[in-house]
Amino acid sequence: MNLKLTRKLKEVIASRLMLLITALSSMLIFVMILGLFLKARLILATQSLPELLLSTSWHPLRGEFGFYPFILGTIWVTVLAMFFSIPSCLLTSIYLTEYASAKIRAFIKPLIDLLAGIPSVVYGLWGILVVVPLVKDHIAPLFGYPTSGYCLLTGGFVLAIMVFPVLISVSEEVFRAVPHEVREISLALGATRWQTVKHAQMVPRIKGIIAAIVLGFSRAFGETMAVMMVVGNVAQVPSSVFQPAYPLPALIANNYGEMMSIPLYDAALLLAALLLLLIVLVFSVGARIVLLRIERRVV
């Protein structure tokens, strides 16, 4: 009897302990948001949020903190990255799901997963050594734009390679969620394999594909090191993909720590971190909700 009570007590303690750890882990994101907000209150008290977000003037020593060039730079780089990555990742996922043999899939999948483990600085160095000269000497001259190679196009291309693993993995899971019977019925009715993919898999799973793209966006929004090394880091509103820009993550990485002695500057950088965190949080939560709905329908 005592042994049973001891076992039950241990199970209760273990379950409560795991629940506590899980709750603390889940609360970390809210603690981070609260901490960043408290640190950014100083600049929010001196300038309105619309003024900070829409102003193009970034002169910290004069008390001018316009985030518009940095927000636009972040959006430009992310959109370019998704433009390069979405078509190739979807086609790769379709090939791995429907066309590739077991041997080819077993060979390709570890290589794709390996991309996720490569450090950002390696991607950055690769961008400097390969992509920057490619854009400067070959791509930009085709369009008549002189550039140093450190520009939005380079940053978008490097970032596209970095989001490949996320997009391919999630898209493949979405396609595999389609019941095998649906494929068999489509083929039995005379549809080709591509028609089956297009109408029996992509159309019903469009929400899951969108969720995969959103997760890729979330990954791209917060990337720092590689983009910082190749995008040019010039605080301006770019009018061409061959011009340099200055994304929010690069702004924070380049300046935070050195400017802690200037309270207003420090608060501005922490506000930039808060904006970035909220953007990524909204995208991630939205994508997760869509994926959960799809899983429930499949079950």
As for how many domains the chain has, the answer is 2
* 57 falls within a domain: no
Copy the structure tokens of residue 33. 């948001």
Of 91 and 257, the one with more pLDDT = 91
* 60 falls within a domain: no
The sign one gets for the Cα dihedral 269, 273, 278, 283 is positive
Judgement on whether residues 114 and 257 belong to the same structural domain of the protein: yes
Asked if 294 contacts 177 with a C-beta cutoff of 8 angstroms, the reply is: yes
Is the pLDDT reported for residue 276 higher than 70? yes
pLDDT for residue 297: 62
Question: pTM of the prediction?
Answer: 0.79
The residues near 10 (Cβ < 8 Å, ≥ 6 apart) are: none
Judgement on whether residues 82 and 46 belong to the same structural domain of the protein: no
Instruction: Find the CATH number of the domain harbouring 275.
Output: 1.10.3720.10
Judgement on whether residues 74 and 30 belong to the same structural domain of the protein: no
pLDDT for residue 45: 85
Judgement on whether residues 114 and 233 belong to the same structural domain of the protein: yes
pLDDT for residue 261: 67
Of 282 and 141, the one with more pLDDT = 141
Q: What is the arithmetic mean of pLDDT over 143-170?
A: 87
Domain around 277: 68-298
* 75 falls within a domain: yes
Asked if 209 contacts 90 with a C-beta cutoff of 8 angstroms, the reply is: yes
* 107 falls within a domain: yes
Q: What is the arithmetic mean of pLDDT over 92-116?
A: 84
* 120 falls within a domain: yes
